[in-house]
Structure 1
């Protein structure tokens, strides 16, 4: 995003699952034949044993697959995933102090091309490289591709929902903000009513039902990028729907804790978190 929206993301997620389940094994077999390796020709994809996994924004993609993909995934793993509750102020309230992992606020003037309405005429792209400034620059290691900072920028501006849904004029973020502040102790239903019907499919929490796949949610207790309450919220919705759901809050961990240098030492030992994840996925795809 942009110029794509959550609707494009949802379409890609559905297409990916359909491709994997319907034709990937045929494409693999064809490639193996062409490479003269018939001894492994029997390797293929089992469309009845697909699980989806994602971290951060990838968690949102996993939730969208759980809600809409055909065939429905057998299991969902989300690590500090977005989308457990998109109807919180984290997504539609402007920020005036550091909020995202303690990092500085961004200067929106540096992102003019990515702000509505200029963002509407951006060229479509299917790839956006991870590029960082060199160690000799004034900001070594800092993202050099502005797209890498857009989610953080939209959260800061309180306009994330506008870009996610494509609903800029009128602004969905403004409507949600208004609904949330209209009364004391506003209910989630009041906020939900502010969402146009054509965008409801983009909100995983509104798609929960008894057919949702078994789900394992993992979140750091100190996460300031995607608040742990999102996973807690989704967990309670899944429990209420009778879904096999598991929630694990990791004490004293921030966002992307599994990328830290000591992650393998902390969580990779026999019987540790990473083994627990593997066992969960394997046990459900083998049912």
Structure 2
């Protein structure tokens, strides 16, 4: 069965629109992968056994000694949270507990700020860029509320933050001030209900539905940060988690395999004869 799945991943080519296509292949293998995040050219992941890893070349290396269920990397550094929802930051190769707020999911992809969702209450919080970037393991950090209950939240450096509410509907805060963590109003973005959403450093937005389908939000610009439409990206297997950075879309299948997808621009049509 594993050999068949591996063969399927190697030859899993995903066809997109006439303008561009996604081509997927098996990524460096990390067994029992649960969650993945990419940013600033780095890729980190956590397994179902609570082990965080970082990708270097074709190999995954253990990241620190703490057991974490969720990790994120971005302009504010590398952050994570454990099974008790304690928050951590990677400092000098070791995980340091960040006192002040428990979070079940954390995202470091914003413009220096770090955001996350608290357990049970689903309140969403933000850590200001000045303190997030400079934190080295000492003291307690005060977190600012993002004014909306969410089950998942992700920020980009360019076009704001996106989140899923308790009904798994998608919302966008078109701007979150990294110095104050104050968002403008959250705007509903109609479309499929998602189980997770990802905003890359350069503002690309992807989502995964509860049945494992992948969608990309198109038409996002500085003047239209909510974008214009969702586009389904066909996948050869149901997907449980994903991340995007520098033209690499990393997707975790529901069976725990990891695919690495890149988008190639289609050749322009031939001129008429």
The bucket for the TM-score relative to the shorter chain is under 0.3
Higher CA-based Rg: 1
Greater share of residues in helix: 1
With the length of structure 2 as denominator, give the TM-score of the two structures: 0.25
| Greater RCO structure (CA 8 Å; 6+ sep) | 1
1 or 2, which has the higher strand percentage?
2
TM-score by length of 1: 0.24
